[in-house]
Amino acid sequence: MVNSSYDGSDGQVSVDVSESAKRSHKDNNNADLQDHLVIFDTTLRDGEQAPGISLDPQEKLEIAEQLARLGVDYIEAGFPVSSQGDFDSVQAIARSIHGPAICGLSRTHVSDVDRCYEALRDADKSRIHVFISTSPEHMEYMLKMSPEQVLREVHTGVARAKEHLEDVEFSPQDATRTSVDFLFEVLNEAVLQGATTLNIPDTVGYGIPWDFGQLISRIRREIPGDYIISTHCHNDLGLATANSLAGVQSGARQVEVCINGIGERAGNAALEEVVMAVNIRSDQFPTVSTGINTEELARTSRLVSRLTGYPVQYNKAIVGRNAFAHEAGIHQHGVLSDRRTYEIIDAATVGQQGSQIVLGKHSGRHAFIDSLEKMGIHAHGDVINQAFRRFKDLADRKVEITEADLEAIIAEEIGMDVEEGYVLESLEVSGGTEGAARAKVVLSRSGSNQEATSEGNGMIDAACKAIEAATSTGAELAGFNVSSVTGGIDALGDVVIQLKSDNIKVSGKGVSTDVVEASARAYLAAVNRLIRAKNRTTHDYSTLTADTGP
Ligand code: KIV
Ligand code: ZN
């Protein structure tokens, strides 16, 4: 059982999760109490049920370790009776994760509950989560049970779980499409049998915030007992976060959430959204707080995305790559003066990079000059005016403006040549399970060809070493990331390589259906950037400008 206690001194909860949350059920009008909002993460159970996700036990363990660093209260690690693999994963997590309590899901059958307990028994703290469907649709077409039979199952399943553990959660699946009278009968039975958490699943994402909030309020008022209320909201109408927050406002003190909002169909409420809404709008949630270490949010999101293969949409709240990016001129001008003009969250508090200015057709002069300055180009007066006009023309035709584009524009305005880069003319690689991999590259630059060969630890390593041999930059590899742009066996591999030399760090990107070729292209793009960056540091643009003032 997870024990927690209110320390009584400063309105903050120490660790006793379920006790403080239960007290909120009883003392909900006492605004002096700061309740702990229990964060129940179900990424490894409901999240893993998303189509196409299949994590192996090692990957689940890696995610569980990161969830522990993030500071969640519960990790729902799986559904032990569903397969030997799930049982093993839950057991491995129960044995090695310390900090969060570990939870296993179970149907009401006695043998399922026993199997669930078996997987959890070595955990420091654990919970059994018993569920059964209660809506007419599910009882008639799925369970083929009458309401009376379902009620008996609730009795049996919860009572059995209680024989094993003090900490028992009960969920009436499809609660939001269940008649309120039957729902309350079932919930009462679960509390009588010892359930300490009543979870209210909006299984098909049918809830609307005010309606869902009222249901939670009624449960609090009308079901007597010592328990806390939990929300479990799916996102079929895009309302999972809103419904969870409405639940919290009405007295729920646990939210069931997934990283990046993954889960069945349209997914579950996103952990990062619920947590940050409670943090940022503490005026609306004055009596609750979470124990989440928010600086770990972006890292956790990236890990889950990488291991599940589910990309995070660019405009995803909190963790999307555009969550702190600004393109419109007025916005860019605002955040360059003070980020609070268009940002309600300090990016660093969620582990993201702060205010990123993205140059595009909506960008203004301020952002344009700022980008040049970040590249080490200090141009003024007519040069800037002309270059800005050229930039706007280009932006109308091209979606993304790269550093190389900017440099070409400005160099043309001041009448100097842009350093020409290397071009990959050909790449040949060989390798396999026997012997070293080999690569031969032919590069061209300013009309002449350079050729080099190298061996390596795998074909990617050999290709990158051959490019290094041909270009002699002396750079060292500072980062390598490969991801798939599209699905399927012929997916485009997207490689980003970072190189470091003399305190200059650059990155290059390459895309191809062949990851070795994508890697070679990324390496060469980084080499070209490095050469330009080094030349720039020895070149003072401002002396070449017709300087008529800033
Ligand atoms: O969505 C749902 O109803 C569930 C239950 C098992 C809690 O995931
Ligand atoms: Zn669910």
Centre of ligand 2 from the C-alpha of residue 21, in Å: 22
Could you tell me the CATH number of the domain that includes residue 454?
Answer: 3.30.160.270
Residue 357 pLDDT class (50, 70, 90 cuts): confident
Q: What is the pLDDT of residue 53?
A: 87
User: Do 442 and 406 fall within a single domain?
Assistant: no
Q: What is the dihedral of CA 51, 39, 21, 207, to 10 degrees?
A: -40
Q: Cβ neighbours of residue 85 under 8 Å, at least 6 residues apart?
A: 57
Which residue's CA is minimally distant from atom 1 of ligand 1? 203
Residue 170 lies inside a defined structural domain of this protein: yes
Q: What is the pLDDT of residue 21?
A: 54
What CA–CA distance (Å, rounded) separates 20 from 493? 49
Q: Cβ neighbours of residue 494 under 8 Å, at least 6 residues apart?
A: 482, 483, 484, 485, 509, 510, 511, 518
Q: Which residues lie near ion ligand 2 (Cβ < 5 Å)?
A: 46
Asked if residue 170 has its Cβ within 6 Å of ligand 1, the reply is no
Residue 372 pLDDT class (50, 70, 90 cuts): confident
Asked if residue 232 has its Cβ within 6 Å of ligand 1, the reply is yes
User: Do 53 and 114 fall within a single domain?
Assistant: yes
What CA–CA distance (Å, rounded) separates 80 from 341? 49
Is the model's pLDDT at 26 over the cut of 50?
A: no
Residue 339 lies inside a defined structural domain of this protein: no
Q: What is the pLDDT of residue 391?
A: 86
Closest approach atom of ligand 1 to CA 234 = 1
Residue 220 pLDDT class (50, 70, 90 cuts): very high
- Which pLDDT tens digit goes with each residue over 74-96? 999 999 999 999 999 999 999 99
Could you tell me the CATH number of the domain that includes residue 168?
Answer: 3.20.20.70
User: Do 89 and 207 fall within a single domain?
Assistant: yes
H helices present in 6-78, as ranges: 17-26, 57-70
Which residue's CA is minimally distant from atom 8 of ligand 1? 46
Specify the 3-state DSSP secondary structure of 244: helix
User: Do 231 and 369 fall within a single domain?
Assistant: no
Centre of ligand 1 from the C-alpha of residue 205, in Å: 11
Q: What is the pLDDT of residue 2?
A: 30
Q: Cβ neighbours of residue 352 under 8 Å, at least 6 residues apart?
A: 298, 318, 319, 323, 324
Q: What is the pLDDT of residue 483?
A: 74
Look up tokens 């959660």; give the residue.
Answer: 169
Nearest to 71 by CA among 96, 48, 98, 46: 98
User: Do 434 and 500 fall within a single domain?
Assistant: yes
How many domains in the chain?
Answer: 3
Backbone torsions φ then ψ of 50, nearest 5 degrees: -65, 145
Centre of ligand 1 from the C-alpha of residue 194, in Å: 20
What CA–CA distance (Å, rounded) separates 353 from 402? 19
Centre of ligand 1 from the C-alpha of residue 199, in Å: 9
State the distance between the two ends of the chain, measured CA to CA, in whole angstroms. 66
Mean pLDDT, rounded, for 193-206: 98
- Which pLDDT tens digit goes with each residue over 225-265? 999 999 999 999 999 999 999 999 999 999 999 999 999 99
Residue 380 lies inside a defined structural domain of this protein: yes
Angle 375-376-382 from CA coordinates, rounded to 5°? 100
Pocket test for ligand 1, best of 49, 186, 231, 232 (most atoms within 8 A of CB): 232
Residue 545 pLDDT class (50, 70, 90 cuts): very low
User: Do 87 and 169 fall within a single domain?
Assistant: yes
Pocket test for ligand 1, best of 45, 82, 105, 127 (most atoms within 8 A of CB): 105
What CA–CA distance (Å, rounded) separates 252 from 232? 11
Closest approach atom of ligand 1 to CA 204 = 1
CB atoms within 10 A of CB 249: 16
Nearest to 43 by CA among 16, 20, 12, 66: 66
Backbone torsions φ then ψ of 328, nearest 5 degrees: -65, 140
Pocket test for ligand 1, best of 40, 203, 236, 256 (most atoms within 8 A of CB): 203
Pocket test for ligand 1, best of 171, 202, 231 (most atoms within 8 A of CB): 171
Mean pLDDT, rounded, for 401-428: 75
Ligand closest in space to the Cα of 173 = 1
What CA–CA distance (Å, rounded) separates 152 from 125? 28
- Which pLDDT tens digit goes with each residue over 139-191? 999 999 999 999 999 999 999 999 999 999 999 999 999 999 999 999 999 99
Strand partners, 497: 480, 508
How are beta strands 448-456 and 476-484 bridged, if at all? unpaired
Poorest-pLDDT segment among 166-175, 297-306, 504-513? 504-513
Residue 88 lies inside a defined structural domain of this protein: yes
- E strands, 79-125, are 101-106
Asked if residue 203 has its Cβ within 6 Å of ligand 1, the reply is yes
- Which pLDDT tens digit goes with each residue over 438-479? 999 999 998 889 999 999 999 999 999 999 999 999 999 988
Residue 492 pLDDT class (50, 70, 90 cuts): low
User: Do 183 and 222 fall within a single domain?
Assistant: yes
Is the model's pLDDT at 3 over the cut of 50?
A: no
Residue 176, token pair as written in the block: 């939001």
Asked if residue 131 has its Cβ within 6 Å of ligand 1, the reply is yes
- Please indicate whether residue 513 or residue 304 has the higher confidence score (pLDDT): 304
Asked if residue 363 has its Cβ within 6 Å of ligand 1, the reply is no
User: Do 404 and 429 fall within a single domain?
Assistant: no
- Please indicate whether residue 387 or residue 46 has the higher confidence score (pLDDT): 46
Q: Could you tell me the residue range of the domain that residue 457 belongs to?
A: 418-535
Q: What is the pLDDT of residue 6?
A: 25
Mean of pLDDT over the chain: 86
User: Do 387 and 501 fall within a single domain?
Assistant: no
Q: Computed over its alpha carbons, how large is the radius of gyration of the chain?
A: 28
What CA–CA distance (Å, rounded) separates 304 from 302? 6
Specify the 3-state DSSP secondary structure of 519: helix
Q: How far is CA 324 from the centre of its chain?
A: 15
CB atoms within 10 A of CB 428: 12
